[in-house]
Structure 1
């Protein structure tokens, strides 16, 4: 009982000490502000819709915000006070006080009347047109808390919406799209919806040529005098709207300056223009082929201006990755004209550039978890906005078990050349995409060395394929031609293959010739969403078509140049979810599943296409590629210990939270395993069985620290197993064996994972 009481006593003592220390340093006569509480209709029985959420929004709008806290401790304020007043504007004390610490928020900084007005204004905007808010402060032990009382009254609903009656001009367009209105009879009065409705109408008008119109020219009059807590809304165009905004415009001249600079402005403007279709090109240096602009500019001479063409043109010019500055000017000859001249000013990026990247990877068949990459980029190679990228990269994956035993290390060196065309190169067919994203054709060649303790793999790859974005969230990569030549060098291969013949077909030299496709959905670009989703799906085939014509070698295998041709189908899906608990806490989850089917020449997937479990970005409590298959126990005598499989199921859940400045913490649980599609006598218990796979999952847990500097992340995770599938008596929970105080247990169970980037 005493052992349980002591930790609680210690924690309580820390809380009291921290609170007392923070108050001790307050200026004389001042109180520490600890935050605001909002009470909604406390003196009546009336409940409002979604009261909990409204209360949270109101409290978030109060100012100032109190000092940040973690588990009740105002750590940043404590550090600020602990650092004291440094004598110099540099050094550790200055850094702690001004960069890590946080000054106290005082009661004197709270402006009650201002907050009353802000909260009442928000309630009125949500339809509580009779809302009133009063605030006061409560002081206790030199801490002050603000309490705001909101009397909302009834929430108003929309009774009727009236649009302009005219049948010509702007009024006719507003009327014709009224069926798409965001204002609905019976809905609550909501000022945010009113603003969105004005923007909707403005967008419809822009699509019909009304270039100079803007939402401020629209008036939504609200009549709340009809009674029964209802309102009538009248949509009108303001009488002060200028004439230029009341008429549609057509496109006249389209002039493009593809090599524009302020320094050479006068000479470029004076240069001889080149007429190409509907465009006037002013490019005295002949920097680009004229056909490039067919894919960049969506306007056509003589058509009505519309916002879609405007946005898509600008987006394409930005997304093509060739220009550092993109600007569009729209001009009219006179106030009476209804025509627009369009000028596009494009300033190219430097032809050559050098970049350095730090990358974290987490593919299930990848041997390397992190890498650094140096890339030389040459732009506009053939004057068609092409891009040539030549890169060299080196990576590592490192795990340390116990105090001195290093395991699972792998290293890689890769050289790669990639030529990117900003269009689809398709024989006998011209494909014109109409969205804002540039489709790309990629030609790639690479050479990679993967090195581990037991083996070295050399891989030569050549690919031809396409990359296009369906939308800001969806991307497709399709390589109809993918050729890989894999050459392996295994330590003591004769002994290894004698003990395990099935490894010979997966590790011997081979060609992987086929196609691959990847679909990615990622809405993380929308930072305003509380719940973000990432999905990546992969399909790869090898040997299907080529195998019909490939000759057989002396071993009876389909082959190319005497080397065996791999024949398989491989599928993989990776689903991730990122839920923002609050501004500093994210709950991340991942489900990764894979299935491989080998046929023809192959009894198993090639080693470089197998699924593995365990590692720094996988099931972190277990050695890299040392989990499974199934309940198979790896003998201590086996020198080649990496275990691959045909099927993989993995789940990860991780709570990520900010500690201080760039330092973040994490607590996680990983679960998963790999299995074989068919029984292997040399690996008993490895076959996948639908009624057994859940109980065969390896499970580990742990915690980690991350230094997140936005442009790179360094990660250290410490993990240990809580369920093992490879025990002599079968899978079992091992939580009862946890003994952090035992050096033997720590050496056998704690696994340290060092990596770059987040695990997923």
Structure 2
């Protein structure tokens, strides 16, 4: 389509020669993934004007991709990933690419083996589908519309779950900023095997058994000396909250109430629908080299339009769509990464992260999938993943998460010998519950005084550069542990016996 190709050229006949426009045009043509090494060659006329010759060599219309890879994420310490992709290029003859993919991974999070399988269909359109007409405005480049339909099956990160998503996204670049705006995002999360909850969250199960042993020996609740899962333990919780045990003390009653509130939240299915916007000074594809800096901002809302269009059920105190309560919240994330290089082949790296997700209206808390956690090989390395916070509560649960997070990371990297590098690091941060229905003051952020609950970890790291990956081993020590009594938080757990070892791929930031 000649008109489509012309729309990607930032210069036109009669323009004054500007080679920077050639570079921008070739970058946009490359981003289409339709041509092999597009180029522009100039020839000179007798009147000293130039003729621009555009040379294009089309890629194959259909492409297949297979691969295996080592993988790491905020949740996954290390894993093996696989992918199978099919691409149909220029499917509607205006540069659109259709991509079908089947991907997955098997890995480790802390001491738990986890797995995930994803099915995705994406249509990549190199223009704004419902936006303004294409113009030669040099201030905005790489306009795209992305329509993504997908599902995933996840195991052993809390409860097993299936999820479905539909995203409609615009993305574009200006000279200094990358934008991604999704006017419509829909995610449906279906938790599976909810009767298995207390087998997964065994700390809650043990706590309930201790409380039950104090107040009842009724065999209706027990099997082989412990609360029966799920019938007996669910009946015990209901009877406690219904006030059938006069002998239970207030502290234990509050513990049962908290455990049941968290269980109810984590076994509930979630419907998340609303817009989001992301801004960054760099595309995600940019290599993080020396003297690198990147900032990212993400703002997301859910449930606002749905709340305006639906009414509360008379029998319930919340609104539903097809009998499913939808989530309503406001979420924002900000991160900043900066690298400073030195002449002795060393580098100092810094990262700051702040995230907040506030429930309101139709929600009293945040879905598990939208919450924040602490610890792990890419966060505070003196704690295992999900084992930090909230606040000073001491990571009571197996998968501890909250809706407010602050994190600072500092790392000095230096050359050792051969392909081996070393690092010294300090990680600072924690998670808290903020403005949700959590009542435990040890978990909530009540003011600046709670910044005294920031966890501090120090450690050393060894890296090996294989040329393809950087294999990383970090040892973190707890310098300041907010879960301990205030007078014992500093250096009490600073010992090799309590060190946490993290294996990772590539640098954490």
TM-score, structure 1 length as denominator? Answer: 0.55
Specify the alignment match of 2:261 in structure 1: 502
- Distance of 1:458 and 1:731 partners within structure 2: 45
| Residues 502 and 604 in structure 1, CA contact (< 8 A), matched pair in contact too | no
- Distance of 1:683 and 1:409 partners within structure 2: 31
1:700 to 445, 453, 457: 457
Q: Note closer, same or farther for the CA distance 1:537–1:436 as it changes in structure 2 (3 Å cut).
A: closer
| Residues 315 and 437 in structure 1, CA contact (< 8 A), matched pair in contact too | no
Q: Does 1:479 align with 2:191?
A: no
- Distance of 2:287 and 2:318 partners within structure 1: 52
Specify the alignment match of 1:557 in structure 2: 318
- Distance of 1:507 and 1:609 partners within structure 2: 15
| Residues 695 and 731 in structure 1, CA contact (< 8 A), matched pair in contact too | no
SS of 1:582's partner is coil
1:531 to 278, 288, 291: 291
| Residues 389 and 400 in structure 2, CA contact (< 8 A), matched pair in contact too | yes
- Distance of 1:592 and 1:484 partners within structure 2: 25
Q: Which has the higher contact order (CA 8 A, sep 6+)?
A: 2
1:461 to 165, 173, 177: 165
Residues 414-471 of structure 1: per-residue CA shift (max 9 Å, x gap): 22222111111115x3243424832111001121223226421222111001111213
Shift of 1:305: 2.8
| Residues 373 and 391 in structure 1, CA contact (< 8 A), matched pair in contact too | no
- Distance of 1:383 and 1:561 partners within structure 2: 39
Shift of 1:484: 0.1
| Residues 725 and 732 in structure 1, CA contact (< 8 A), matched pair in contact too | no
1:645 to 390, 394, 402: 402
Q: Which has the larger radius of gyration?
A: 1
Residues 389-435 of structure 1: per-residue CA shift (max 9 Å, x gap): 323333456366xxxxxx355432222222111111115x3243424
| Residues 395 and 412 in structure 1, CA contact (< 8 A), matched pair in contact too | yes
| Residues 378 and 387 in structure 1, CA contact (< 8 A), matched pair in contact too | yes
- Distance of 2:346 and 2:103 partners within structure 1: 33
Specify the alignment match of 1:293 in structure 2: 5
| Residues 359 and 757 in structure 1, CA contact (< 8 A), matched pair in contact too | no
- Distance of 1:690 and 1:299 partners within structure 2: 56
- Distance of 1:527 and 1:380 partners within structure 2: 28
- Distance of 2:370 and 2:3 partners within structure 1: 41
TM-score, structure 2 length as denominator? Answer: 0.80
- Distance of 2:288 and 2:114 partners within structure 1: 38
Q: Does 1:613 align with 2:374?
A: yes
1:127-276 to 2 correspondence within 5 Å? Answer: none
| Residues 442 and 466 in structure 1, CA contact (< 8 A), matched pair in contact too | yes
- Distance of 2:425 and 2:380 partners within structure 1: 10
Q: Note closer, same or farther for the CA distance 1:738–1:568 as it changes in structure 2 (3 Å cut).
A: closer
Q: Note closer, same or farther for the CA distance 1:370–1:732 as it changes in structure 2 (3 Å cut).
A: farther
SS of 1:393's partner is strand
Q: Note closer, same or farther for the CA distance 1:584–1:672 as it changes in structure 2 (3 Å cut).
A: same
Q: Note closer, same or farther for the CA distance 1:345–1:605 as it changes in structure 2 (3 Å cut).
A: same
Specify the alignment match of 2:49 in structure 1: 339
Q: Does 1:443 align with 2:147?
A: yes
Shift of 1:367: 6.3
SS of 1:492's partner is helix
1:627-642 to 2 correspondence within 5 Å? Answer: 627-635=388-396, 640-642=397-399
1:384 to 89, 94, 111: 94
- Distance of 1:315 and 1:443 partners within structure 2: 22
Specify the alignment match of 2:491 in structure 1: 735
SS of 1:317's partner is helix
Specify the alignment match of 1:674 in structure 2: 431
Residues 637-692 of structure 1: per-residue CA shift (max 9 Å, x gap): xxx52122121101111122233343332221111111111476664411113332
1:492 to 186, 193, 197: 197
Specify the alignment match of 1:305 in structure 2: 17
- Distance of 2:385 and 2:45 partners within structure 1: 70
- How much is the aligned-residue C-alpha RMSD, in angstroms? 2.9
Q: Note closer, same or farther for the CA distance 1:445–1:707 as it changes in structure 2 (3 Å cut).
A: farther
Which consecutive residues of structure 1, in runs of 5 or more, have no partner in the other structure? Answer: 1-288, 401-406, 741-745
Residues 687-743 of structure 1: per-residue CA shift (max 9 Å, x gap): 11333232101111222223333443332222221211112x237444255443xxx
Which consecutive residues of structure 2, in runs of 5 or more, have no partner in the other structure? Answer: 199-229, 239-255
Q: Note closer, same or farther for the CA distance 1:423–1:737 as it changes in structure 2 (3 Å cut).
A: closer
